[in-house]
């Protein structure tokens, strides 16, 4: 089963075969577009994370995110959507599937570090800001949390 955004776009858990496409998307968004240093974009957590993806009508991976579970809590991160696919429901579908995967693993609360321009997107998905804004990789962020059913 896969998570669906309100637009009918779907997302699913990535397989090992999908990982090169996910890495390429994250490089395009974070390193090329946003200037994040390549050495910090990928990390050891990628090996144990649950990765989720969404594909466009041609089968190209256009959105991704990852889930890191620690007991009954989890951190969602590395949410990336190809510039040409933004606003079409792919990120919402990825986030819904990450939530579903978290619940399947017994998680009751999730946290993420939202880039400030994405804050409204996460608030619409039930997240609330916690604390003050800060910089991460030279980009303004805010920590956000949400409880899961």
User: What average pLDDT does range 115-125 have in this prediction?
Assistant: 96
Tell me the residue range of the domain where 22 lies.
3-147
Q: Is 38 buried (19+), middle (13-18) or exposed (0-12) by CB count in 10 A?
A: exposed
- How many folded domains does the chain comprise? 1
The pLDDT of 37-45, averaged and rounded, is 90
Average model confidence (pLDDT) for the chain? Answer: 94
Give yes or no for residue 4 having a pLDDT over 80.
Answer: no
Residue 1: per-residue pLDDT: 43
DSSP code, position 28: I
Q: Please give the pLDDT value at position 144.
A: 98
pLDDT band at 8 (very low <50, low <70, confident <90, very high): confident
Laid out side by side, the sheet with 61-70 consists of 3-4, 10-13, 50-55, 61-70, 73-81, 109-115, 139-147, 128-136
The whole-number average pLDDT for the span 79-90 is 96
The CATH number of the domain where 101 resides is what? Answer: 3.40.630.30
**Cβ atoms 75, 108 nearer than 8 A:** no
Q: Which helix (DSSP H) or strand (DSSP E) does residue 73 occupy? A: strand 73-81
3, pLDDT greater than 70: no
Angle at 91 between CA 68 and CA 79, to 5 degrees: 40
Q: In whole angstroms, what is the distance from residue 131 CA to residue 143 CA?
A: 7
Q: Which of 7, 9, 115 is nearest to 61 (CA)?
A: 9
Taking residues 99-112, report their average pLDDT. 98
Give the pLDDT mean for 121-149. 96
Whether 5 shows a pLDDT value over 70: the answer reads no
- What predicted TM-score, i.e. pTM, was given to this entire model? 0.93
């Amino acid at each position: 089963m896969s998570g669906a955004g309100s637009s009918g776009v779907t997302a699913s858990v990535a397989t090992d075969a999908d990982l090169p496409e996910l890495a390429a998307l994250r490089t395009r968004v974070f390193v090329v577009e946003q200037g994040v240093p390549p050495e910090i974009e990928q990390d050891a957590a990628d090996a144990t994370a649950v990765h989720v993806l969404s594909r466009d009508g041609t089968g190209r991976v256009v959105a991704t995110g990852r889930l890191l579970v620690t007991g009954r809590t989890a951190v969602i991160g590395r949410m990336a959507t190809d510039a040409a696919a933004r606003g079409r429901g792919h990120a919402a579908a990825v986030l819904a599937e990450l939530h579903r995967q978290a619940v399947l693993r017994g998680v009751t609360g999730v946290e993420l570090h939202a880039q400030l321009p994405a804050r409204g997107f996460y608030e619409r998905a039930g997240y609330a800001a916690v604390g003050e804004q800060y910089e991460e990789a030279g980009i303004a962020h805010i920590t956000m949390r949400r409880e899961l059913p």
